[in-house]
Amino acid sequence: MRSLAITLAIALAGVSAVPAAAQDAAAQDNTPQGTTIIVRPPLTEDERKQELREFTKQIVRPPRMRHPVAKFFYPICPQVLGLAPEEAEAIVERIRENARALSVGANTDPACLPTVKVAFMAPAAGPSDRWLTADSAQLAHLAIYERERVLAETGPVRAWNRVLMRDFNGEPIEVGRMIFIEPYNRNDPIVTTEITGAAVLIAREAAEGFTLAQLADYITMRALIGTGAPLSEEGVPARTILTLFDEPDPPAEMTLFDRSLVAEIYNASRNSSPRRVYNDIARAAAESERITGAEPEAPKR
């Protein structure tokens, strides 16, 4: 009888302990009553590729109709102004290393003509929205819509590319000139678009606190391709150095996605259609995630 009583007491104690633990867990749960929590399964490989493709289209400035994505045709020659000489040279060398690794190429001749010009703007230059106007000589070579795009940019950076259109034979196309050359392939444009120069202006105060590698990698992405900072109000589906001035915890260097983006554009033929290039970027980025075992990060909010 005594044994049965002890057993019963233990059983009752166990039963009473469950509600107590549940109450403690409920007390720690800050989820408001009535909140619906939706658990979504991970994206399939095809869904992830589509997500990365749409993200690529968001940050790569769209080319004109029937034009390929613009890129440099020749090795770049970077120049950095507005910093101490040793800091400027470190950034220049990092940009060169990136360009070589990403199949762009870099001119190492000390006397080369700068094709990527970077300026860290002193506070005396005023806020970034006063650096340029529609009448600025620096933007005179841009089309009106390109000029408006630069002037509409917000934040501590302004960047643009000088682009030259060439016909199927590689000859420069003058503004207003009509061309009547049939394409070899209906899916690819009949012209090429060459970046002949890039400029990146960065507020020097905004650059404080970042490593020289972070700044160089950011400049690489803004200069080698016509890119803009992604819209991050609802988060971004892939980590990118392009969020350097927007995220509280940005990447320490160019990410897998960044390198896939640049490499695929520069490995593509000069007249590949944007659609084909975007697909290749998404495929390469998704494959890199799979090989490295990297999990796509949840959007940062």
Predicted TM-score (pTM) of the model is: 0.79
Whether residue 74 lies inside any domain: the answer is yes
For residue 38, the model assigns a pLDDT of 56
For residue 188, the model assigns a pLDDT of 54
Whether residue 29 lies inside any domain: the answer is no
Structural domain count, the chain: 1
Could you tell me which residue, 213 or 300, shows the higher pLDDT? 213
The C-alpha atoms of residue 293 and residue 42 are separated, in whole angstroms, by: 14
For residue 265, the model assigns a pLDDT of 94
| Dihedrals phi, psi of 85, to nearest 5 degrees | -50, -45
Whether residue 81 lies inside any domain: the answer is yes
For residue 145, the model assigns a pLDDT of 86
- Please name the helix (run of DSSP H) or strand (run of DSSP E) that holds residue 177, with its range, or none: none
- pLDDT band at 29, cuts 50/70/90? low
Residue 4 CB neighbours (<10 A): 8
Whether residue 263 lies inside any domain: the answer is yes
Classify residue 209 as left (phi > 0), alpha (psi -120 to 50) or beta.
Answer: left
Residue 169 CB neighbours (<10 A): 7
Provide the residue range defining the domain that includes 190.
45-292
**Three-state DSSP state, 113:** coil
Determine the longest span between alpha carbons in the chain, in angstroms.
Answer: 106
For residue 32, the model assigns a pLDDT of 60
For residue 183, the model assigns a pLDDT of 47
Could you tell me which residue, 223 or 185, shows the higher pLDDT? 223
For 142-166, write each residue's pLDDT tens digit. 888 889 999 999 999 999 999 988 8
For residue 78, the model assigns a pLDDT of 98
Has residue 174 got a pLDDT over 80? no
Please provide the average confidence, as pLDDT, over all residues in the chain. 82
> In the predicted model, what is the mean pLDDT of residues 217-229?
93
For 94-121, write each residue's pLDDT tens digit. 999 999 999 999 999 989 999 999 999 9
For residue 18, the model assigns a pLDDT of 39
Least confident window among 11-25, 111-125, 168-182, 260-274:
11-25
For 37-60, write each residue's pLDDT tens digit. 655 667 788 899 999 999 999 889
The C-alpha atoms of residue 250 and residue 244 are separated, in whole angstroms, by: 5
For residue 270, the model assigns a pLDDT of 87
Whether residue 8 lies inside any domain: the answer is no
Whether residue 59 lies inside any domain: the answer is yes
For 177-191, write each residue's pLDDT tens digit. 444 444 445 555 578
Whether residue 4 lies inside any domain: the answer is no
Q: Where are the alpha helices (DSSP H) in 189-253?
A: 204-207, 212-224
Q: Which of 245, 221, 218, 243 is nearest to 232 (CA)?
A: 243
For residue 64, the model assigns a pLDDT of 75
Q: What angle do CA 199, 203, 209 make, to 5 degrees?
A: 120
Whether residue 37 lies inside any domain: the answer is no
